[in-house]
Amino acid sequence: MTPLFDQRLTLLSQGNNHHYLREILHGLERETLRVTSDLHLSQQPHPEALGAALTHPYITTDYSEAMLEFVTPTYNNPQEALDFLAELHTSALNALPDNEMIWSASMPAILQGDSSVPVARFGTSHTGTMKHIYRQGLGHRYGRTMQTIAGIHYNFSLGDEFWALLGETDDSKHLSLQAIKDSGYFAMARNFRRYAWLLSYLFGASPAMDKSFFAGQAITTLESLDDDTLYLPWATSLRMSDLGYTSSAQASLPTPYNSLDSYLATLRQATSTPYSDYQKIRVKVDGEYRQLNDNLLQIDNEFYSVIRPKCVPLPGEKPTDALADRGVEYLEIRNLDVNPLLPLGMDAAQARFLDIFLLSCALKESPKMTQEQYRQSNENFALSVREGRRPGLRLQDENRERTLREWAYELFEVMLPVARLLDNANETDLFTTSLNSEVRKLDDSSLTPSAQILARLQEGKSFRTLSGELARQHGDFFKSRPTRPEREVWFRQLAVESHEKQRHLEESDRISFDDYLREYNAPGTVAALVTRATAA
């Protein structure tokens, strides 16, 4: 522990200061595929009974038309976010056709090549058209099968009083509250990058995948477990490996996490700089868009990272413009697999550990990262997702190598007083209970989700069979849950209202899509674009 960490911990422990930790806000986004009863990707459009994916506040689609995304409101208690997520699952399952179910794993069900992955559609409005073309571009750049990989995003924010208190412990007292928050969130993000390998070890849940993901290609980097399943014996999260959501093109980007300004500069450069491989795809072919542009990133959200600083954008506003105008509101944690052994893909104990981990990242010193340190953090993470459970696995900590287990124990020592602080703030012992549960995985890797899943597979079931069985079990669980009639009415009303909102958007466009896209890609805020596009 460091003097600054101890000082901050002491300050939060004084008087009623620990009550500021009750202001933590949590939100969840869970991606999941609709699959048929024979475990193939659904080819049907987003069910109308679920509402319009473009405008529904809680149920949308992500990359593929077959990928549902459930988005919760924010809550102080993560259990409440999980409860709302459960309601979304039940509502969605009740609206699906009888021959469809919700997939249980991060890696997809049976695929039949790129052409079998329907790209998400969002109607004919300029906003919806842009979202569709962006996803078309992703398909051309990375392949459509990558658009079937699912995860859980954990959105986390600390209250203003917490940040004001933390500002008393360093040289940021002269800064505005928002500047203190921006600096604090980026310090958190740097520490998260340094230690994200620990979350892969503890919660990675995709050590195996279906062979159909590769459409018959010979894959020499994975081993065969059976006729239908590929795996790596020590892997924790193939989803987060170079087989999943990574981009070699983005590997050249400079470290973006040293400040809000450096983050904005990195993303704005990437969204305005043509990339030769994407120029070969071409933006338009025979008058039809293939991608939004040929830049390294089509839009800000194409930046694939385990963590993103976020600010809720206004309609039509770029994420970078929102951050530049109003600063960081929360962090989006993006490296969490869907645990197929759990109905929701995660549980409250995991959420409490994430709170401990993230608060520790906020309280620990967080020096700015050199390019070499950023590269090193990426390499440690890559090792953890492919070989995290390998006995004696060594990671690079600055100028020395150390085992993952040794380093993890050191981090748990740092997190213990943070867990106790959260217990005091919430009048519970559940945070230290969660911490004690997770530390046992360091001595016994068989307790990790990735090891438990592999053990089930090695009993003789293929990835597709086991995942299908778990999907049916989870579906039965959600359908059997008691529902409140007033909530069912509310969800139906939300669906109807979302269709009405989409129709309004489609009727309100007043400029051509080419002009809309041209203005969106222009530097600066898009507030004027939104006004012109919808003016009568």
DSSP output for 386-441? HHTTSTT-EEEETTEEEEHHHHHHHHHHHHHHHHHHHHHHHTSSHHHHHHHHHHHH
Q: What confidence score (pLDDT) does residue 290 get?
A: 97
Bridge partners, residue 394, by sequence = 403
CATH of domain 3-482: 3.30.590.20
Q: What confidence score (pLDDT) does residue 432 get?
A: 98
Cα gap 281→4, rounded to integer Å: 51
Find tokens 């995660």 and name the residue. Answer: 346
Domain extent listing, the chain:
3-482, 506-536
Cα gap 368→372, rounded to integer Å: 11
Find tokens 């990359």 and name the residue. Answer: 63
- CA triple 267-269-270, angle to 5 deg: 65
Nearest to 316 by CA among 520, 55, 499: 520
Q: What confidence score (pLDDT) does residue 519 get?
A: 87
Cα gap 449→427, rounded to integer Å: 29
* SS3 label, residue 110: strand
Residue-level pLDDT, tens digit, the chain, 536 residues: 688 999 999 999 999 999 999 999 999 999 999 999 999 999 999 999 999 999 999 999 999 999 999 999 999 999 999 999 999 999 999 999 999 999 999 999 999 999 999 999 999 999 999 999 999 999 999 999 999 999 999 999 999 999 999 988 876 668 899 999 999 999 999 999 999 999 999 999 999 999 999 987 878 889 999 999 999 999 999 999 988 766 677 877 887 899 999 999 999 999 999 999 999 999 999 999 999 999 999 999 999 899 999 999 998 889 999 999 999 999 999 999 999 999 999 999 999 999 999 999 999 999 999 999 999 999 999 999 999 999 999 999 999 999 999 999 999 999 999 999 999 999 999 999 999 999 999 999 999 999 999 999 999 999 999 999 999 999 999 999 988 999 999 999 999 999 999 999 999 999 999 999 988 877 654 433 333 333 32
